[in-house]
Structure 1
Amino acid sequence: MIWQAGASRPISLHMKHLIQSRSRAGFSLVEVALAVAIAALAIITLLGLLPQGLEMARKTSLMVSDSNILQQITHDMGSEW
Protein backbone atom coordinates (compact mmCIF):
# COMPACT_ATOMS: atom_id res chain seq x y z
CA MET A 1 0.00 0.00 0.00
CA ILE A 2 1.12 3.50 -0.82
CA TRP A 3 -0.13 6.66 0.77
CA GLN A 4 -1.19 9.32 -1.70
CA ALA A 5 -0.42 12.92 -0.77
CA GLY A 6 -3.51 14.51 0.73
CA ALA A 7 -5.42 11.22 0.90
CA SER A 8 -6.95 9.87 4.07
CA ARG A 9 -6.37 6.24 3.07
CA PRO A 10 -3.67 4.33 1.19
CA ILE A 11 -4.07 3.39 -2.47
CA SER A 12 -3.15 0.00 -3.87
CA LEU A 13 -0.39 -0.50 -6.41
CA HIS A 14 -2.99 -1.53 -8.98
CA MET A 15 -4.92 1.69 -8.44
CA LYS A 16 -1.72 3.74 -8.65
CA HIS A 17 -0.80 2.04 -11.94
CA LEU A 18 -4.32 2.68 -13.26
CA ILE A 19 -4.13 6.38 -12.36
CA GLN A 20 -0.67 6.78 -13.89
CA SER A 21 -1.53 4.96 -17.12
CA ARG A 22 -4.74 6.94 -17.51
CA SER A 23 -2.93 10.24 -16.98
CA ARG A 24 -0.40 9.33 -19.69
CA ALA A 25 -2.91 8.16 -22.29
CA GLY A 26 -3.77 10.45 -25.20
CA PHE A 27 -2.98 14.11 -25.72
CA SER A 28 -3.59 16.86 -23.21
CA LEU A 29 -5.77 19.84 -24.01
CA VAL A 30 -2.68 22.07 -24.04
CA GLU A 31 -0.98 19.85 -26.63
CA VAL A 32 -4.04 19.84 -28.87
CA ALA A 33 -4.47 23.62 -28.54
CA LEU A 34 -0.81 24.17 -29.40
CA ALA A 35 -1.05 21.91 -32.46
CA VAL A 36 -4.17 23.74 -33.66
CA ALA A 37 -2.47 27.12 -33.15
CA ILE A 38 0.59 26.04 -35.16
CA ALA A 39 -1.59 24.66 -37.97
CA ALA A 40 -3.65 27.87 -38.04
CA LEU A 41 -0.49 29.98 -38.22
CA ALA A 42 0.80 27.91 -41.14
CA ILE A 43 -2.51 28.21 -43.01
CA ILE A 44 -2.70 31.97 -42.43
CA THR A 45 0.86 32.37 -43.70
CA LEU A 46 0.11 30.37 -46.85
CA LEU A 47 -3.11 32.30 -47.48
CA GLY A 48 -1.12 35.52 -47.14
CA LEU A 49 1.17 34.39 -49.95
CA LEU A 50 -1.70 33.52 -52.29
CA PRO A 51 -2.36 37.07 -53.63
CA GLN A 52 1.34 37.53 -54.41
CA GLY A 53 1.41 34.25 -56.31
CA LEU A 54 -1.69 35.14 -58.29
CA GLU A 55 -0.28 38.56 -59.19
CA MET A 56 2.99 36.97 -60.31
CA ALA A 57 1.08 34.46 -62.47
CA ARG A 58 -0.92 37.31 -64.04
CA LYS A 59 2.23 39.30 -64.83
CA THR A 60 3.92 36.22 -66.30
CA SER A 61 0.91 35.55 -68.51
CA LEU A 62 1.01 39.14 -69.78
CA MET A 63 4.73 38.88 -70.49
CA VAL A 64 4.24 35.67 -72.49
CA SER A 65 1.43 37.30 -74.43
CA ASP A 66 3.58 40.38 -75.16
CA SER A 67 6.45 38.16 -76.24
CA ASN A 68 4.21 36.23 -78.65
CA ILE A 69 2.93 39.49 -80.17
CA LEU A 70 6.48 40.80 -80.63
CA GLN A 71 7.58 37.54 -82.25
CA GLN A 72 4.67 37.71 -84.67
CA ILE A 73 5.45 41.34 -85.55
CA THR A 74 9.14 40.50 -86.04
CA HIS A 75 8.25 37.53 -88.21
CA ASP A 76 5.85 39.62 -90.32
CA MET A 77 8.44 42.39 -90.76
CA GLY A 78 11.12 39.88 -91.75
CA SER A 79 8.93 38.26 -94.40
CA GLU A 80 8.24 41.63 -96.05
CA TRP A 81 11.89 42.18 -96.83
Structure 2
Amino acid sequence: MSDETDARTRSEERAERAERMAKEGAQAMAEHLQSVKAIDERTVKLRALRLAKEAAEAEAKAAAPAPAPKRKRSAS
Protein backbone atom coordinates (compact mmCIF):
# COMPACT_ATOMS: atom_id res chain seq x y z
CA MET A 1 0.00 0.00 0.00
CA SER A 2 2.86 2.40 0.66
CA ASP A 3 4.11 1.82 -2.89
CA GLU A 4 0.73 2.87 -4.20
CA THR A 5 0.72 5.96 -1.95
CA ASP A 6 4.27 6.85 -3.00
CA ALA A 7 3.35 6.49 -6.65
CA ARG A 8 0.31 8.71 -6.18
CA THR A 9 2.40 11.30 -4.31
CA ARG A 10 5.04 11.30 -7.04
CA SER A 11 2.35 11.61 -9.66
CA GLU A 12 0.78 14.56 -7.85
CA GLU A 13 4.18 16.19 -7.45
CA ARG A 14 4.87 15.77 -11.16
CA ALA A 15 1.48 17.25 -12.01
CA GLU A 16 2.05 20.22 -9.67
CA ARG A 17 5.52 20.77 -11.10
CA ALA A 18 4.19 20.63 -14.66
CA GLU A 19 1.46 23.13 -13.78
CA ARG A 20 3.97 25.44 -12.07
CA MET A 21 6.33 25.23 -15.03
CA ALA A 22 3.48 26.03 -17.42
CA LYS A 23 2.52 29.10 -15.36
CA GLU A 24 6.13 30.28 -15.16
CA GLY A 25 6.57 29.72 -18.87
CA ALA A 26 3.47 31.73 -19.67
CA GLN A 27 4.63 34.53 -17.38
CA ALA A 28 8.09 34.55 -18.95
CA MET A 29 6.59 34.67 -22.43
CA ALA A 30 4.32 37.57 -21.44
CA GLU A 31 7.30 39.47 -20.03
CA HIS A 32 9.29 38.77 -23.18
CA LEU A 33 6.49 39.98 -25.44
CA GLN A 34 6.09 43.11 -23.33
CA SER A 35 9.81 43.78 -23.65
CA VAL A 36 9.71 43.29 -27.42
CA LYS A 37 6.74 45.64 -27.68
CA ALA A 38 8.57 48.32 -25.68
CA ILE A 39 11.63 47.99 -27.92
CA ASP A 40 9.47 48.27 -31.04
CA GLU A 41 7.78 51.39 -29.68
CA ARG A 42 11.13 53.02 -28.90
CA THR A 43 12.40 52.09 -32.36
CA VAL A 44 9.41 53.75 -34.00
CA LYS A 45 9.87 56.88 -31.88
CA LEU A 46 13.60 57.10 -32.59
CA ARG A 47 13.05 56.51 -36.32
CA ALA A 48 10.51 59.35 -36.42
CA LEU A 49 12.95 61.66 -34.61
CA ARG A 50 15.78 60.72 -36.99
CA LEU A 51 13.63 61.28 -40.08
CA ALA A 52 12.46 64.66 -38.76
CA LYS A 53 16.07 65.67 -38.09
CA GLU A 54 17.18 64.55 -41.55
CA ALA A 55 14.30 66.45 -43.16
CA ALA A 56 15.19 69.60 -41.20
CA GLU A 57 18.85 69.27 -42.20
CA ALA A 58 17.90 68.77 -45.86
CA GLU A 59 15.61 71.81 -45.72
CA ALA A 60 18.33 73.92 -44.12
CA LYS A 61 20.84 72.76 -46.70
CA ALA A 62 18.46 73.61 -49.55
CA ALA A 63 17.77 77.06 -48.09
CA ALA A 64 21.45 77.88 -47.57
CA PRO A 65 23.20 79.56 -50.48
CA ALA A 66 25.67 77.46 -52.39
CA PRO A 67 29.29 78.22 -51.49
CA ALA A 68 31.21 80.28 -54.01
CA PRO A 69 33.43 78.20 -56.24
CA LYS A 70 37.10 78.26 -55.31
CA ARG A 71 39.44 79.96 -57.74
CA LYS A 72 42.36 78.10 -59.02
CA ARG A 73 45.72 79.65 -58.34
CA SER A 74 47.61 80.59 -61.40
CA ALA A 75 51.19 79.41 -61.59
CA SER A 76 53.54 82.39 -61.63
| Shared fold per TM-score greater than 0.5 | yes
Q: Is 1:65 matched up with 2:44?
A: yes
Paired with 2:8 and 2:47, the residues of 1 have a C-alpha distance of: 58
Describe the SS at the equivalent of 2:25: helix
Please give the secondary structure, in 2, of the residue aligned with 1:67: helix
The aligned amino acid for 1:29 is R
Give the Cα–Cα distance (whole angstroms) in 2 for the partners of residues 51 and 34 of structure 1: 26
Q: TM-score, normalised by structure 2?
A: 0.58
Aligned length: 56
The structural deviation recorded for 1:35 is: 1.3
Higher relative strand content: 1
CA shift digits 1:24-76 (9 cap, x unpaired): xxx92222221111111111112223333222222111101011111111111
Q: Tell me the equivalent position of 2:57.
A: 78
Highest relative contact order (Cα 8 Å, sep 6+), 1 or 2?
1
Unaligned runs of 5+ in 2: 62-76
User: How large is the Cα RMSD of the aligned pairs?
Assistant: 2.1
**Percentage of pairs with the same residue:** 7
- Give, in whole Å, the separation in 2 of the partners of 1:63 and 1:49: 21
Q: Give 2:32's match in structure 1, choosing from 43, 53, 67.
A: 53
Unaligned runs of 5+ in 1: 1-22
Q: What is the 5 A alignment of 1:1-81?
A: 28-80=7-59, 81=61
